[in-house]
């Protein structure tokens, strides 16, 4: 295989990885923002209806906020793994030898 073809294949893997990173981070952020927005609006609605339940609901809201944000942070971690230690490039390089 020519050197140019090998470089082209590696560039394609890097390009597709960049697109995947953008999708992971972008869709994860959109999903987390929508989830937090819906949950907080429901919390405010229920707090307005029954103010005596605010302390109980507030703890649950903060717990769920952490869980929703944790899923986004895990996606960012996977995106960083693909950006800086891409395992796909190693596999492709072994195949091209």
- Residues labelled catalytic: 69
DSSP string for residues in 32-96: HHHHHHHHHHHHHHHHHH-GGGHHHHHHHHHHHHHHHHHHHHHHHHHHHHHHHS-HHHHHHHHHH
Treating both helix axes as pointing N-terminal to C-terminal, what angle do 54-84 and 3-49 enclose, rounded to 10 degrees? 180
């Amino acid at each position: 295989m020519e050197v140019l073809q090998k470089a082209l294949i590696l560039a394609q893997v890097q390009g597709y990885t960049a697109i995947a990173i953008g999708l992971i981070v972008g869709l994860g952020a959109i999903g987390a923002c929508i989830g937090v927005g819906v949950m907080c609006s429901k919390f405010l609605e229920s707090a307005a209806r029954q103010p005596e339940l605010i302390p109980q609901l507030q703890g649950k809201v903060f717990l769920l906020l952490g869980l929703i944000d944790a899923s986004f942070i895990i996606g960012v971690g996977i995106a960083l793994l693909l950006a800086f230690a891409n395992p796909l490039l190693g596999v492709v390089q072994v195949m091209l030898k």
